[in-house]
Chain A
Amino acid sequence: MDRNAHDPSQPPGDFCRRTRREFLWEAGAGFTGLAMAGMLGDGFFAGQAGAAEVDKGRFVNPLAPKASPLPAKAKSVIFLFMYGGPSQVDTFDYKPKLYGLDGKTIAIKTFGRGGKKNEGRVVGPKWKFKQYGQSGKWVSDLFPNIATCVDDIAFIHSLTADSPIHGSAMLQMNTGKILSGSPCLGSWVNYGLGSVNENLPGFVVMLDPTGGPISGSKNWSSGYMPASYQGTLLRSGGNPVLDLKRPEDMNESTQRKLLDTLHAYNSDHLTHRADNSNLAARIASYEMAFAMQRHAPEAVDIQSESAETKALYGLDQEKTRDFGRRCLLARRLVERGVRFVQLYAGGAHNDSNWDAHGNLESNHNYHAGRTDKPVAGLLKDLKRRGLLDDTLVIWGGEFGRQPTAENASGTGRDHNAYGFTMWMAGGGIKGGTTVGETDELGSAAITDRFHVKNLHATVLAQLGVNPERLTYFYNGLDQKLVGVEGAEPIHQIMS
């Protein structure tokens, strides 16, 4: 939207000859100035010294888009979070030997919610694998549609995490730490790069209809950073963002009158306090809110999408309609400049997500069945619109699953953080590649082992941010998403 064009819905006048954009946000109070320092490239230590200026002298908009410090391959991220932990050996990590061992008890070290074990009964993979694409990637029958996109995908078979327990593993996949209280990947990205569309939140989370993931808002929290960077829940219908809808008894023109009166009071108040940019920022925030009410519903309104597009995402079928709709919204959001979109496939507890402790087949058939077509549709739609080039798509859960059974009977698998698979596509990721290996049973990463931190480093690197340099001063320390010791991006999959 053209900032300089006169918008008839806006009150006349300007705020101290500043553009509206400059007033949008403020991260006040003493210390927050330090928050901005980390991104200032080589001069960032110098930046910290002038921290207090941010509070009073200058006005900084924390979510204004910033140029990435390094050349960026990706502008936006869509994280398809397979909550609960899909089984790698039943999806993308082909282990032909495992079929023959089905039912045999073998010596194997595992660590799941049932604790550490030294042996277990193998559950052979429950689906057949076939090779697809130029790359000849093996994909199980759970994902016939994603399988057609393998040449755009880079698979990482050797991820590891620090915890095989949902609570802490979810926190680690989202924040890098197993301890509660740190900012999420989406917060870091918005902190580092801002977001392009001021009428929409910069970090959007869309939940499964069955409920949120365990630990709820901790999974999109900005932790020790200001709330400006936390994820905003977006619903695919009705009132998309909390409090976006006007109350029943107020129409747009009534609200406009109200806002004009408010503006007049606030302008009077500002007259003798013109040096205080916080006041001007707050005045501007009402106009932004008014604009969001106008524009956000359009972003989630899919009526204008063609029947062919809707079908591509599986909106024409009951089982794929929900996730398909959210995938389609994800595309619409990144199209409109939203920086980070996270979709949960699966919610609540037990078999409402990928947490297949009881019956692996029914669980994974269900969750793959409702996501395979939408995910493939998303990749294809992004690609044909030229959006895949700068949209980084991530697929995976907080950990994987063990090759052996959890219980005395049945096919359920316990959690496994020793080795699991995630994949990325678009945003400068080398398609048709595979990196890392688990052992021949798929139980632990043995070759090119990567940690969740390496995954996070890769996301930042593709966005043009050096993971070692994106810092936030807190608690006496320059905090980093990748931790004090740092982590390398996964160079093998970066083009």
Chain B
Amino acid sequence: MPRLHLTAITLACLTFGLLDTPGRAENVAPSEEQVRFFESKVRPVLLDQCLKCHGPEKQKAGLRLDSRAAILAGGETGPAVVPGKPEESLLLTVIRHEADAPKMPPSKKLPTLAIADLTRWVEMGAPWPGQQDTGTVPVKRRTAFEITDKDRAHWAFQPVRRPAPPKVKGQTWVKNPIDGFVLAGLESNGLAPNPPATKAELIRRATYDLTGLPPSPRDVENFLADRAPNAYEALIDRLLASPRYGEKWGRHWLDLVRYAETNSYERDGAKPNAWRYRDYVIRAFNDDKPFDRFVREQLAGDELPDANNDSIVATSYYRLGIWDDEPADRELARYDNLDDLVATTSQVFLGLTVDCARCHDHKLDPIPQKDYYRLVSFFQNVNPYRNGGPTDEAPIFPDDKARLAHVRMTAEAEKRRNSIRDELTAIEREFVVKTAEGRNEATAIDLEDLKYRYYRDTWDTLPDFNAIKPESAGSLPKPLFDLSPRTRDDAFGFVFEGSLIVPKDGQYTFSLDSDDGSRLVIAGKTVLEYDGIHGQGDEKSVSVALLAGRQPIRLEYFQHGHGLGLTVAWSGPNFSRRLLSMAESQKALAQVRPNSPIARRIATSGVVVLGAKQHARYVKLKADLEAVAKEMLPPDRALCVTEAGPDAPETFVLLRGNPQTKGDRVEPAFLTVLGATSPNIPKPPIGAKTTGRRKALADWIVAADNPLTPRVMANRVWQHHFGRGIVRSSSNFGLQGDKPTHPELLDWLASELVANQWHLKPLHRLIMTSSAYQMSSKPQEGALASDPTNDHLWRFDMRRLSAEEVRDSILAVTGRLKLKMYGPGVYPTIPPEVLAGQSIPGAGWSTSTPEDESRRSIYIHVKRSLMVPILESFDAAETDRSSPNRFATTQPTQALAMLNSSFMNQQAEALAARLRAEAGSDTKRQVELALKLVTSRSPTDAEARRGLELIAGLGSQGLKPDAALKSFCLVALNINEFLYID
């Protein structure tokens, strides 16, 4: 093919005499022969094969191929043809269908002759009859993205003002400014607000809204009996102060930040210490941490001047997303992970889908593609996630004192450990010498305490293993470097670490051969390095002077593909070549006659060889060594963000989102439509660990004049009280988002949030003490007809409990709920039928104690590919992306689970037991208590009678009283009134 290619070009050049002017761009009038060539060989190919996507109708990638001018101008990736230069002409590259390059036409490679013809044509200078003048066919280029005045005038981009509450007729209804805004809307639409809800309805509503749990019968009684004028306000204050508040509202936040504790994909591996972030969020809500601080900690907790444990844990925010540990395209995967950050950050804090501008300018909102990459540049220097290791985890201490104490303790323990080891080695050598085993080379033990770490990945050279999380780790059965713990023959690596027992001071020779790369490190020094991809057969060796005793030894190894192997050997003053690695022949030997480590030999014959005293000393030292190891506890670690240093790599616009086609370089900057200027990012001090860019971003997000952040957050607070935001699309305030039903109210709330120093609890209190919040949810005929979706808030909307509320409420009424807070996730039982869906049933799902199984749902381990059925069934958040709203589906499978699942039947038993314990043996009282527990009100006589009739009826069918009561309990846990709030 290359030969033919050259011939064709030479021929063309000779024929058309273009040798002297191969590179010119101007199209001199083509010769007659060129015209014939173009019309017969080139135009038909372009017409048949290219113009469907690159013609007058469509211009994929911004490219047209129907005129010379258009071809020379090219598309997003640059000119399609450079006249006279086939090697620089993209058009020719793509039609060759080379692996790893774009292929055009996509469905089928052109015939070889057609490719040769087009190459010839480019070589000629791309003559195009009748188009000498490049201006004759104007090219439809992408027009520059314009942000219009209309875009800028969009309500959400206007500064937040604090409008005065409007005047209303029904002033008596107005308890606070919220009511003024709501009532004005109602009055102007001829609607009247619903009457207030009953006190019983209110306590149930408020308790669920702030704690996610039902009020206890005693809470209800106390509240109903409380005649004080401020009884309701006192209730709200009590609920806001409850630790349950953070568990309820923290969950709303976890939905937004796509909180999960695993990575998804094949292994769906657990993220280290992700649960600390969940605890951080719960504490932040309970402590009423100001929202601006909350944002700063999550986005830049490590860059804050007063960074602390909390703010480091908060940066887990960056690490909570999905992560493919084995992506097909690593560079693309890196940008996918950056996209996760842009999407989450822009939707959660700003209520904008900036991520829609990854491949092109936003189709609906005034967000140019450049803005997307400017936002990317804030995160560009973040170390890519690797699921643990120093770039994803940081030690955390309660305070600086604890940190210093830990450093001191570790150093001291290490010193002691070394001295114990020295003494142990001396005794072991004594043993070896005395038993004369040292002369027996075949059974000599050269390596001790040998541990391995195994990694799975593809590398071309040895990676920094310390920065990667191993797939597995352990000890080897025999003290030799051994590749057998691997799980496959390609794309893996090992790090071995242990001690080399050097019998005496002297010169030792080490040799190393491997397929592929390896590195041998002794006493902290690299003595042999044989990196890269290669086969075996070219052994490397080196001579090293070593002192007698125990020397740390480390061997790193990786295997890319094709064959594998590792041979390490040494020789010394008193012995010839001995293998330190497992040879194939030795492998078999090892299985039949395992060499026992020296410690075991001393254990059996130490007293005889060393004498009782020395042996006792040895035993004590061994115990000391173990004790020291226990002292050297690693500190707690947090999942966190880190950066690669103070200098960020450049960021480019990626055309069509493709990392292979870089466009303009961009610098960090905020959204153009907001008229925001570039951030002022101080130059990081020498030795800084980060660029400071994320702090600049966080500062802008919570800046006093950012119109989006306070509106977005105030709206979310409203959303979770009223079941819908003032802007229903609570993460999309863009042009296609829903318009606010009460724009002035939203602004007023946003300004109030900022005026309260971003504290949320005053906002909750304000909202919940309004008349609007305290309205009944009952229907009104006229209002239903004129405002069926309750846009004007003429009533309070009923809502179904969320998934967590359903499960937690069931546990609460059956008396099984355990209110223990915080800590690693718990694992309620998942039925085997569900586990069977995993490729390894039960993998990644542990078991918990019965107490832990009964904890609140927020403490359940969040595994992306496996969810507790009752939570999944009642629409728990989808965790792969930010989730601003919950669904509330009704499905027969929910009913099946609520009737037949073992969880529900256990809970029905538990409720029956509680009834027997608390209501005694009187069935009527049992029934009444059950209904009271699930509805938070006293049942009517008819309701109680209905339960009694069921129990009696079942009894007459032959069911034992306990079983009949349990059946009734199952009914009580299923009634609509339990799952719906008025």
B975, CB-defined interface residue at 8 Å = yes
Tell whether, in the assembled complex, residue B967 and residue A289 are in contact, meaning their CB atoms are under 8 Å apart. no
Residues of A within 8 A of B957 (CB): 253-254, 257
Least CB separation from B879: chain A residue: A181
- Give 1 or 0 for each of A4-45: 1 = CB within 8 Å of chain B CB: 000000000000000000001111111110000000000000
A264, CB-defined interface residue at 8 Å = yes
Residues from 734 to 781 in B contacting A, C-beta threshold 8 Å: 734, 736-738, 777-779
A298, CB-defined interface residue at 8 Å = no
A93, CB-defined interface residue at 8 Å = no
Residues of A within 8 A of B365 (CB): 476
Tell whether, in the assembled complex, residue A223 and residue B268 are in contact, meaning their CB atoms are under 8 Å apart. no
B486, CB-defined interface residue at 8 Å = no
B965, CB-defined interface residue at 8 Å = no
- Picked from A109, A418, A449, the residue with its CB within 8 Å of the CB of B108 is A449
Tell whether, in the assembled complex, residue A178 and residue B264 are in contact, meaning their CB atoms are under 8 Å apart. no
Number of interface residues of A (CB under 8 A): 113
Contact stretch, chosen from A51-59, A137-145, A300-308, A384-392: A51-59
**A28-B800, A269-B976, A449-B107 are contacts. A476–B896 as well, Cβ < 8 Å?**
no
Tell whether, in the assembled complex, residue B788 and residue A56 are in contact, meaning their CB atoms are under 8 Å apart. yes
- Give 1 or 0 for each of B788-806: 1 = CB within 8 Å of chain A CB: 1111000000101000000
B164, CB-defined interface residue at 8 Å = no
Nearest chain B CB to A116's CB is how many angstroms away? 8
B959, CB-defined interface residue at 8 Å = yes
Q: How far is the CA of A272 from the CA of B329 in the complex (A)?
A: 58
Most A CB contacts (10 A, CB to CB) among B458, B869, B897, B977 go to B977
Contact stretch, chosen from B445-453, B498-506, B709-717, B830-838: B830-838
Nearest chain A CB to B841's CB is how many angstroms away? 6
Residues of A within 8 A of B970 (CB): 258
Nearest chain A CB to B625's CB is how many angstroms away? 40
Q: How far is the CA of A408 from the CA of B790 in the complex (A)?
A: 70
Least CB separation from B564: chain A residue: A408
- Give 1 or 0 for each of B354-366: 1 = CB within 8 Å of chain A CB: 0110010000110
Residues from 65 to 123 in A contacting B, C-beta threshold 8 Å: 109, 111, 113-117
Tell whether, in the assembled complex, residue A114 and residue B490 are in contact, meaning their CB atoms are under 8 Å apart. yes
Q: How far is the CA of A211 from the CA of B725 in the complex (A)?
A: 43
Most A CB contacts (10 A, CB to CB) among B265, B324, B905 go to B265
Tell whether, in the assembled complex, residue A167 and residue B266 are in contact, meaning their CB atoms are under 8 Å apart. yes
Residues of A within 8 A of B914 (CB): none
Tell whether, in the assembled complex, residue A207 and residue B975 are in contact, meaning their CB atoms are under 8 Å apart. no
- Picked from A26, A242, A407, the residue with its CB within 8 Å of the CB of B889 is A26
Tell whether, in the assembled complex, residue B896 and residue A250 are in contact, meaning their CB atoms are under 8 Å apart. no
Tell whether, in the assembled complex, residue B880 and residue A285 are in contact, meaning their CB atoms are under 8 Å apart. no
Tell whether, in the assembled complex, residue A261 and residue B946 are in contact, meaning their CB atoms are under 8 Å apart. yes
Residues of A within 8 A of B777 (CB): 273
B444, CB-defined interface residue at 8 Å = no
Nearest chain A CB to B796's CB is how many angstroms away? 12
A282, CB-defined interface residue at 8 Å = yes
Tell whether, in the assembled complex, residue B833 and residue A52 are in contact, meaning their CB atoms are under 8 Å apart. no
Residues of B within 8 A of A268 (CB): 943
- Give 1 or 0 for each of A214-231: 1 = CB within 8 Å of chain B CB: 111110100110111000
Contact stretch, chosen from B471-479, B550-558, B668-676, B947-955: B947-955
Tell whether, in the assembled complex, residue B839 and residue A180 are in contact, meaning their CB atoms are under 8 Å apart. no
Tell whether, in the assembled complex, residue A28 and residue B881 are in contact, meaning their CB atoms are under 8 Å apart. no
B575, CB-defined interface residue at 8 Å = no
B878, CB-defined interface residue at 8 Å = yes
Tell whether, in the assembled complex, residue B356 and residue A477 are in contact, meaning their CB atoms are under 8 Å apart. yes
Residues from 346 to 383 in B contacting A, C-beta threshold 8 Å: 347, 353, 355-356, 359, 364-365
Residues of A within 8 A of B967 (CB): 250, 254, 258
- Picked from B99, B790, B873, B905, the residue with its CB within 8 Å of the CB of A56 is B790
Q: How far is the CA of A449 from the CA of B105 in the complex (A)?
A: 9
A318, CB-defined interface residue at 8 Å = no
Residues of A within 8 A of B244 (CB): none
Tell whether, in the assembled complex, residue B895 and residue A286 are in contact, meaning their CB atoms are under 8 Å apart. yes
**A266-B976, A285-B895, A348-B839 are contacts. A215–B943 as well, Cβ < 8 Å?**
no
Tell whether, in the assembled complex, residue A227 and residue B897 are in contact, meaning their CB atoms are under 8 Å apart. no
B866, CB-defined interface residue at 8 Å = yes
Residues of A within 8 A of B364 (CB): 476
Residues of B within 8 A of A286 (CB): 892, 895, 899, 974
Tell whether, in the assembled complex, residue A273 and residue B888 are in contact, meaning their CB atoms are under 8 Å apart. no
Residues of A within 8 A of B737 (CB): 476
Q: How far is the CA of A272 from the CA of B777 in the complex (A)?
A: 10
Number of CB contacts from chain A to chain B under 8 A: 320
Least CB separation from B724: chain A residue: A30
Residues of B within 8 A of A218 (CB): 264, 864-865
Tell whether, in the assembled complex, residue A276 and residue B328 are in contact, meaning their CB atoms are under 8 Å apart. no
Tell whether, in the assembled complex, residue B789 and residue A56 are in contact, meaning their CB atoms are under 8 Å apart. yes
Contact stretch, chosen from A158-166, A187-195, A325-333, A464-472: A158-166
Q: How far is the CA of A270 from the CA of B957 in the complex (A)?
A: 30
**A214-B839, A265-B971 are contacts. A285–B891 as well, Cβ < 8 Å?**
yes
Number of interface residues of B (CB under 8 A): 115
Tell whether, in the assembled complex, residue B97 and residue A446 are in contact, meaning their CB atoms are under 8 Å apart. yes
Q: How far is the CA of A262 from the CA of B888 in the complex (A)?
A: 21
Residues from 228 to 283 in A contacting B, C-beta threshold 8 Å: 228, 232-233, 235, 239, 241-247, 249-250, 253-255, 257-258, 261-262, 264-266, 268-270, 272-276, 278-279, 281-283
- Picked from B268, B359, B950, B953, the residue with its CB within 8 Å of the CB of A215 is B268
Q: How far is the CA of A215 from the CA of B880 in the complex (A)?
A: 13
A337, CB-defined interface residue at 8 Å = no
Tell whether, in the assembled complex, residue A241 and residue B865 are in contact, meaning their CB atoms are under 8 Å apart. no
B963, CB-defined interface residue at 8 Å = yes
Residues from 926 to 976 in B contacting A, C-beta threshold 8 Å: 943, 946-947, 949-950, 953-954, 957, 959, 963, 967-968, 970-971, 974-976
**A117-B561, A279-B980, A285-B894 are contacts. A29–B886 as well, Cβ < 8 Å?**
yes
Tell whether, in the assembled complex, residue A476 and residue B356 are in contact, meaning their CB atoms are under 8 Å apart. yes
**A57-B788, A168-B265, A447-B108 are contacts. A212–B977 as well, Cβ < 8 Å?**
no
Residues of A within 8 A of B103 (CB): 449
Residues of A within 8 A of B725 (CB): 30
Tell whether, in the assembled complex, residue B839 and residue A24 are in contact, meaning their CB atoms are under 8 Å apart. no
Q: How far is the CA of A218 from the CA of B263 in the complex (A)?
A: 12
Least CB separation from A415: chain B residue: B328
B562, CB-defined interface residue at 8 Å = yes
A397, CB-defined interface residue at 8 Å = no
Residues of A within 8 A of B109 (CB): 446-447
Least CB separation from A222: chain B residue: B878
A293, CB-defined interface residue at 8 Å = yes
Q: How far is the CA of A220 from the CA of B980 in the complex (A)?
A: 29
Q: How far is the CA of A254 from the CA of B970 in the complex (A)?
A: 12
Residues of B within 8 A of A162 (CB): 328-329
Tell whether, in the assembled complex, residue B959 and residue A476 are in contact, meaning their CB atoms are under 8 Å apart. no
A361, CB-defined interface residue at 8 Å = no
Least CB separation from B803: chain A residue: A227
Q: How far is the CA of A178 from the CA of B329 in the complex (A)?
A: 11
Residues of B within 8 A of A217 (CB): 837-838, 865-867
Tell whether, in the assembled complex, residue B108 and residue A257 are in contact, meaning their CB atoms are under 8 Å apart. no
Residues of A within 8 A of B949 (CB): 261
Contacts A273-B777, A282-B890, A289-B892 known; 13 new A-B pairs at CB < 8 A:
A27-B888, A163-B328, A163-B329, A165-B326, A165-B327, A212-B841, A217-B837, A217-B838, A227-B891, A243-B899, A250-B967, A289-B893, A292-B896
Nearest 3 CB-CB pairs, A to B? A181-B880, A476-B353, A167-B266
Show 15 A/B contacts (Cβ-Cβ < 8 Å), sorted by A: A27-B889, A115-B490, A163-B329, A217-B866, A227-B887, A243-B896, A247-B905, A254-B967, A258-B967, A279-B980, A289-B895, A447-B108, A448-B108, A476-B734, A477-B353
A: which residues have CB within 8 A of B? 24-32, 52-53, 55-57, 62, 109, 111, 113-117, 162-169, 171, 178-181, 198, 201, 207, 211-218, 220, 223-224, 226-228, 232-233, 235, 239, 241-247, 249-250, 253-255, 257-258, 261-262, 264-266, 268-270, 272-276, 278-279, 281-283, 285-286, 288-289, 292-293, 347-349, 357, 406-408, 417-418, 444, 446-450, 475-477, 484
